[in-house]
Amino acid sequence: MAHQFSPSYVTDSLAILRQYKSLAEAAIAQVGDEQFTLTLDAESNSIAIIVKHMAGNMRSRWTDFLTTDGEKPDRNRDSEFEAPPSTRAELMPLWESGWQCVFGALERLSDADLTFTVYIRTEPHSVMQAIDRQIAHYAYHVGQIVFLAKHFQSKNWKSLSVPRGKSAEFNAKVARGKTS
């Protein structure tokens, strides 16, 4: 996604979050169904578990964002790290639903709303702090998804940015104004 200048924090936050969603989805698309649920060891999470956790977090944090605590009483966070749906087809609708909570909440905000106070686990946050917290959280997990997908694909990995050993070629394209 090409960077778009915006003086709006909300608009910029939406763009960044959409970029993270696309990055995760591009990585997820490269793994087979059998790799989707693989872990590196007993203490690690699979891509499917990370997706399930992110979806649960998104629903909790962004539903009624300005009016209720971001940690909803009906959320069972621990269950997000157990037994994800057995197929990608069952899990990805949770992912989409989570992102719709994020985008729906942010699209309703104006920059004037940034001064409001919201709560996460009873701790007060400015709206901007809460958004920053979630951007950092999602970036962390998207990085895990990309790492796992790249690990599983190894030499078959298709780079999501500038491929290794191709920086000079990329820089030449930038200099000519052709980055796509």
Model pLDDT, residue 151: 97
Model pLDDT, residue 168: 73
Mean pLDDT across the chain = 92
Identify the CA nearest to 133 among candidates 82, 65, 67: 65
DSSP string, 20-76: HHHHHHHHHTTS-HHHHT--SSTTSPPHHHHHHHHHHHHHHHHTTTTTS-SS-TT--
**What does the pLDDT average to over 87-107?**
96
Model pLDDT, residue 166: 66
Helix then strand then coil, % of the chain, to nearest 5: 60, 5, 35
Residue 58's pLDDT band, with cuts at 50, 70 and 90, is very high
| Domain containing residue 137 | 9-176
**What does the pLDDT average to over 150-157?**
95
Asked whether the predicted pLDDT for residue 75 surpasses 80, the reply is: yes
Answering whether pTM is above 0.85, one says yes
Model pLDDT, residue 180: 57
**What does the pLDDT average to over 26-46?**
94
Within 10 angstroms of residue 30's Cβ, the number of other Cβ atoms is 16
Asked whether the predicted pLDDT for residue 162 surpasses 80, the reply is: no
Identify the CA nearest to 158 among candidates 167, 141, 146, 172: 146
Least confident of 6-15, 134-143, 150-159, 167-176: 167-176
Model pLDDT, residue 125: 97
What's the rounded Cα separation, in Å, for the pair 99 and 142? Answer: 13
Q: Is 55 inside a domain boundary?
A: yes
Q: Is 102 inside a domain boundary?
A: yes
The CATH number of the domain holding residue 59 is 1.20.120.450
For the CA atoms of 62, 38, 88, 17, the dihedral, rounded to the nearest 10 degrees, stands at 30
Q: Is 65 inside a domain boundary?
A: yes
Model pLDDT, residue 171: 66
Radius of gyration of the chain (CA): 18
What's the rounded Cα separation, in Å, for the pair 71 and 98? Answer: 14
Q: Is 3 inside a domain boundary?
A: no
Q: Work out how many domains the chain is built from and give that number.
A: 1
Q: Is 25 inside a domain boundary?
A: yes
Q: Is 168 inside a domain boundary?
A: yes
Q: Is 1 inside a domain boundary?
A: no
Q: Is 48 inside a domain boundary?
A: yes
